[in-house]
Chain A
Amino acid sequence: MKNRIICTLPLVVSVLVMLQYVLVPNFREFTPLDQNAPTNVWLWFMGFFALAFAAWNVAAVFSKRAHTQLRRRAPLLTVVFLLVLLFDFATLKTGWLPQPFVPWPDAILNAIIRDRAILLTSLGHSLRLLFTGYAIGVVLGIITGVAAGWSVKARYWVQPLTKLFGSIPPVTWLPIILILAGSLFGGAVFLIALAVWYPVTATTMNGVLNVPKSTFEAASTFGVSKPGMIFKVAIPASSPFIFQGLTQGMSIACTALLIAEMMGVEAGLGWYINWQRGWAEFAGMYGAVVIIAVTFFAVNAVLGVARRRALRWKEGGA
């Protein structure tokens, strides 16, 4: 019985959000021309979740698996939607949070819909920049990392470089790069690649150094060639370490991307946030923040899936 009640809580709270939105008076009057005048978009949005939770509850009656999953996630979902309820209350309903700097969910949703074309272009630009820089950084990082793990001579030269760049936050170089680079896009790619290069190099080197000697010796008794030793032994053997670098690198790359876009590159979501702020379009600003959060979450989730797939052979999983 108690479990059943907990399972219905997300549904109850999402309905509460809709009721509050419709029934509680707003903190001020809106003219129909007001860009932020409340619309039904928020009701549609919340209604979608309410329906989904209702359907999930029905499924939970028939399926044990749906019930376990819902029961596990229900407390977290309830708190999330309670926070949404509180957020709407503190903005649209009471104006407690400083206005107009903190817009309410309906205004943010409408800003995203209104600016969808430019947001989509900005998203595309951000992703292109992120992945170009990331790919270059990863490839170079694996090359220098394997070289440094493999040969003492390479390690002698690479290690001071990683120590130097490891202690300086990569965005420190941004002003210099933006001055020196021929194009802003090229400069930002360079910055992101540099930011990714360091962790990938460090972890790859560590990985190759940690491969047991007997692994290479066994391979050599089978007559594995030199390139084979690198591509078929050293790299797969150190892949758990390399993936650690890929994950660290992605989070640094995301940071570097946004800073580059906010400071110089005149496109992308970072630039959009700054641009909206300049026009005091706070709803649009928050909209871009939401899109960034969702995008980075998705990118990291994809990386996580790739990691788990690639490291299936590892004891205890990836």
Chain B
Amino acid sequence: MTGTIEIKHLNKTFDDEFCAIEDLSLTIAAGEFVSIVGTSGCGKSTLLRTIAGLEAPTGGEILCGGKPVHGTSPDRGLMFQEHALFPWLTVRKNVIFALKASGRYGANGGSVGALLETAGLAEFADAYPHQLSGGMRQRAALIRSLAVSPDVLLLDEPLGALDSFTRMVLQDEIIRLWQARGNTMVLITHDVDEAIYLSNRIIVMAPRPGRIAEIIDVPMGYPRNRGTSDFADLRKRLLKRLDFAAEVEQEYYL
């Protein structure tokens, strides 16, 4: 089925030196929203880039929709922390560029205007990226990624550089678009609340070598409430798993 991701005994080593990922296996169901959290250097970015096809595995394999991953494909979209919009193109032309490059302009080209409209980008459609605020840029990048209708969208800390209010607005936007399209989402984040708020499952990774420490199910429906006790319990459990619970917890609420 399209949109499933099967990671089988994945190994990734850089320059034969340190082991970024060691013997990692994970299956993600089609249409699932999975978050990956972990301290820096735990290999979560490497894992995402390997799923995207930007890095080749040293050992093991990744199947996406049953087919082995070799290089990048429009079936697996990737959204970056620093928007990665093409600065020389307007928002609309960025979307059209993606559609034409992926050969999906014929199928999806007609809906560009409507897509920008639903994302609140209609009045910025002909603006260049540098004219937009940080939040609007990420919104545009999200729409550009989704415009080509990928089976899987990989999000590499897409909201990490935004202020917390803009971040919450965009979290709701991501939920809305994901529910409307039903594609698989894999999100990397440093923000424990973001992981709990968005995902069906949270993968906690541990460093040296990069591996899965724990998989936590989030048995809550959408939309979620950040203030419930279930939410707080999950946050406590996650922070403890990440070794931050004891002393940092108090600071975290500031």
Interfacial chain B residues near A239, Cβ < 8 Å: 88
Interfacial chain A residues near B86, Cβ < 8 Å: 215, 218-219, 233, 236-237
Quick check: is B69 within 8 A (CB to CB) of the other chain? Answer: no
Q: Is the CB of A223 within 8 A of B101?
A: yes
* Interface size classification for chain A: 20 to 34
Q: Is the CB of A222 within 8 A of B130?
A: no
Q: Is the CB of A224 within 8 A of B54?
A: no
Interfacial chain A residues near B73, Cβ < 8 Å: 221, 223
Quick check: is A220 within 8 A (CB to CB) of the other chain? Answer: yes
Q: Mark B93-106, 1 if CB is under 8 A from A, else 0.
A: 00001100111000
Interfacial chain B residues near A312, Cβ < 8 Å: 128
Question: Please, how many angstroms separate the alpha-carbon atoms of A222 and B148 in the complex?
Answer: 8
Interfacial chain A residues near B148, Cβ < 8 Å: 222
Interfacial chain B residues near A237, Cβ < 8 Å: 86-88
Q: Is the CB of B74 within 8 A of A223?
A: yes
Q: Is the CB of A222 within 8 A of B74?
A: yes
Stretch among B36-44, B77-85, B164-172, B181-189 lining the A interface: B77-85
Q: Is the CB of A220 within 8 A of B72?
A: yes
How many A-B residue pairs have C-beta atoms within 8 angstroms? Tell me: 65
Closest residue to B87 on the A side, CB-wise?
Answer: A313
Q: Mark A212-239, 1 if CB is under 8 A from B, else 0.
A: 1011011111111100100011001101
The answer to whether residues A224 and B84 also contact, given A218-B78, A313-B89 and a CB cut-off of 8 A, is no
Q: Is the CB of A221 within 8 A of B88?
A: no
Chain B CB within 10 A, most for which of A217, A218, A221, A222: A221
Quick check: is B52 within 8 A (CB to CB) of the other chain? Answer: yes
Question: Please, how many angstroms separate the alpha-carbon atoms of A217 and B55 in the complex?
Answer: 11
Interfacial chain B residues near A219, Cβ < 8 Å: 86, 101
A234 to chain B, nearest CB (A): 11
Please count how many residues in chain B sit with their CB below 8 Å of the partner chain's CB atoms: 27
A222 touches which of B88, B89, B98 (Cβ 8 Å): B98
Q: Is the CB of B130 within 8 A of A315?
A: yes
The answer to whether residues A212 and B84 also contact, given A220-B54, A232-B97 and a CB cut-off of 8 A, is yes
Closest residue to A233 on the B side, CB-wise?
Answer: B86
Q: Is the CB of B88 within 8 A of A223?
A: no
Interfacial chain A residues near B98, Cβ < 8 Å: 222
The answer to whether residues A228 and B87 also contact, given A218-B78, A221-B77, A313-B130 and a CB cut-off of 8 A, is no
B211 to chain A, nearest CB (A): 25
Q: Is the CB of B76 within 8 A of A221?
A: yes
Quick check: is A2 within 8 A (CB to CB) of the other chain? Answer: no
Question: Please, how many angstroms separate the alpha-carbon atoms of A266 and B181 in the complex?
Answer: 72
The answer to whether residues A214 and B84 also contact, given A221-B72, A313-B89 and a CB cut-off of 8 A, is yes
Interfacial chain A residues near B82, Cβ < 8 Å: 212, 214
Closest residue to A239 on the B side, CB-wise?
Answer: B88
Q: Is the CB of A221 within 8 A of B74?
A: yes
Q: Mark A282-318, 1 if CB is under 8 A from B, else 0.
A: 0000000000000000000000000000001111000
Interfacial chain B residues near A233, Cβ < 8 Å: 86
B residues 47-73 in Cβ contact with A at 8 Å: 52-54, 71-73
B101 touches which of A214, A217, A224 (Cβ 8 Å): A224
Chain B CB within 10 A, most for which of A220, A223, A315: A223
A232 to chain B, nearest CB (A): 7
Interfacial chain B residues near A315, Cβ < 8 Å: 130
Question: Please, how many angstroms separate the alpha-carbon atoms of A233 and B52 in the complex?
Answer: 20
Q: Is the CB of B88 within 8 A of A236?
A: yes
Interfacial chain B residues near A220, Cβ < 8 Å: 54, 71-72
Closest residue to B74 on the A side, CB-wise?
Answer: A223
Q: Mark A39-71, 1 if CB is under 8 A from B, else 0.
A: 000000000000000000000000000000000
The answer to whether residues A314 and B130 also contact, given A221-B52, A223-B103 and a CB cut-off of 8 A, is yes
Question: Please, how many angstroms separate the alpha-carbon atoms of A219 and B101 in the complex?
Answer: 8
B139 to chain A, nearest CB (A): 15
Q: Is the CB of B72 within 8 A of A223?
A: yes
A214 to chain B, nearest CB (A): 4
Closest residue to A236 on the B side, CB-wise?
Answer: B88
Question: Please, how many angstroms separate the alpha-carbon atoms of A233 and B100 in the complex?
Answer: 13
Question: Please, how many angstroms separate the alpha-carbon atoms of A289 and B185 in the complex?
Answer: 68
Q: Is the CB of B88 within 8 A of A217?
A: no
* List of 3 A-B pairs having minimum Cβ-Cβ separation, nearest first: A315-B130, A218-B84, A214-B84
- 17 further interface pairs, Cβ-Cβ under 8 Å (given A217-B54, A217-B72): A214-B80, A218-B78, A218-B86, A219-B86, A220-B54, A221-B54, A221-B72, A221-B73, A221-B74, A221-B78, A223-B74, A312-B128, A313-B87, A313-B88, A313-B128, A313-B130, A314-B130
16 contacts across the A-B interface (CB closer than 8 A):
A212-B84, A218-B78, A218-B86, A221-B53, A221-B74, A221-B76, A222-B102, A223-B74, A223-B101, A223-B102, A224-B101, A236-B88, A312-B128, A313-B87, A313-B89, A313-B90
